[in-house]
Amino acid sequence: MDSLSGFVEKIKYRNEENGYAILSVESGGEDYVLVGTFPMISEGEYISAEGHFQLHPTYGEQLAVETYEIKTPEDSASVQRYLSSGAVKGVGEALAKRIVKKFKNDTLRILEEEPERLAEVKGISERLAMEIAGQIEEKRELRRAMLFLSGYGIRMNLAVKIYQRYGDEVYTLLRENPYRIADDLSGVGFQTADEIARRMGVRADAETRIRSAVLYVLRLAVQEGHCYLPTSLLTERLKALLRLEPENLRQLLLDLQMEKRLVLRRAPNDAEETRVYLANYDRMELHVAAMLKELDIRETTGHTRAEEQLALLEEEEAGFVLDETQRRAVLAAVQSGLLVITGGPGTGKTTTINAIIRCFEAEGAEILLAAPTGRAAARMT
């Protein structure tokens, strides 16, 4: 592990969303480039960092930082350098010099404990003094939060996301329910929250853990293409994830339904089975069903004409023969605003589609074809 300490001369690049930055740091009279996640770091601050030096093919040697700490300026010269860097909005080089000249080595204490006294300096109003104090306090709170989160093994980039989402509530929230971060933050999974909870001493059978696991398992099911899971399968997957038998699961599911997080529905043909939906996917499914029903406009006059057209096709073209299922599909197509045809390879779907097209062509209809994949498009072509 390599280490380096020095002043942040310049922030060459910063991604405001995730805190990734490229820093130019002066240490021992030499300039170094540091790369990594640095939430709200400012030019002029004194950084002590650890990581590994690496050689970038374009930009040369860089220290890829894994851990770091912002050191508090200890002498008046360091405080002046920090304030002059623009780290605190509203304070430039001249004003920083007057502040340090006024308070000398007591400057940092004044900034943190008696910021109203900054108004004693020429050019600083009471309003500006309070603004400066607010910025100093914000930076101090962020560092305190980063230290708190790192104590539970939370890496810097995740710690930034957590603090940006919850602010000063992060201490109470994590102690009460660390699984909230899996529910509230995109890209944070159950396993991450579960590891943090374990470090915080949350019991394996805690209700908060099981609740979060239920939501996580249902989200995974969505990625597999499912809008819901039957309770039997949900229970099975929960056991594998939690490595325990979830107790009072029925009541917990009912509670989540009361909170409008889940929707429980009885299976139409099975009185014993309950389907468990994430609430938003239940709404989506209902909405899609309603839209499909609106599209399914029935046409009662096309059946006879289609029968006649099929008979004509079979008479005119040798080998053009449909079985009874295909024939029903063609007749249903001309009578329906919407039709779903399913079947495995070689079951006659392409022949059926071709017959449907021929029937509509005979009516002079405009036909548009679309397919979700290149292979399907080639078959339809």
- Residue 344: its pLDDT value, please? 87
Reported confidence tier of residue 63, pLDDT bands at 50, 70, 90: very high
Q: Are residues 98 and 145 in the same domain?
A: yes
Give tens-digit pLDDT for 65-87: 988 888 777 678 778 887 877 77
Number of domains present in the structure of the chain: 4
**Last residue of a domain, which of 268, 290, 312?**
290
Q: Which residue has the higher pLDDT, 161 or 293?
A: 293
**Last residue of a domain, which of 19, 54, 69?**
69
Q: How many Å separate Cα 100 from the centre of its chain?
A: 45
Does a structural domain hold residue 179? no
Contact 68, 28 (CB under 8 A): no
Q: How far apart are CA 241 and CA 218, in angstroms?
A: 12
Does a structural domain hold residue 85? yes
Reported confidence tier of residue 303, pLDDT bands at 50, 70, 90: low
Q: Which tokens belong to 296?
A: 């399914």
Does a structural domain hold residue 178? no
- Residue 123: its pLDDT value, please? 86
Does a structural domain hold residue 84? yes
* Angle of helix 207-223 versus helix 231-242 axis, rounded to 10: 120
Contact 148, 171 (CB under 8 A): yes
- Residue 343: its pLDDT value, please? 87
Q: At residue 113, does pLDDT exceed 70? A: yes
Percent residues over pLDDT 70 in the chain: 98
Q: Are residues 215 and 272 in the same domain?
A: yes
Does a structural domain hold residue 180? no
- Domain of residue 356 covers 302-380
Q: Are residues 120 and 86 in the same domain?
A: yes
- Residue 301: its pLDDT value, please? 67
In this structure, what CATH number is given to the domain that contains residue 62? 2.40.50.140
**Last residue of a domain, which of 117, 152, 172?**
172
Does a structural domain hold residue 192? no
> Across all residues in the chain, what is the average pLDDT?
87
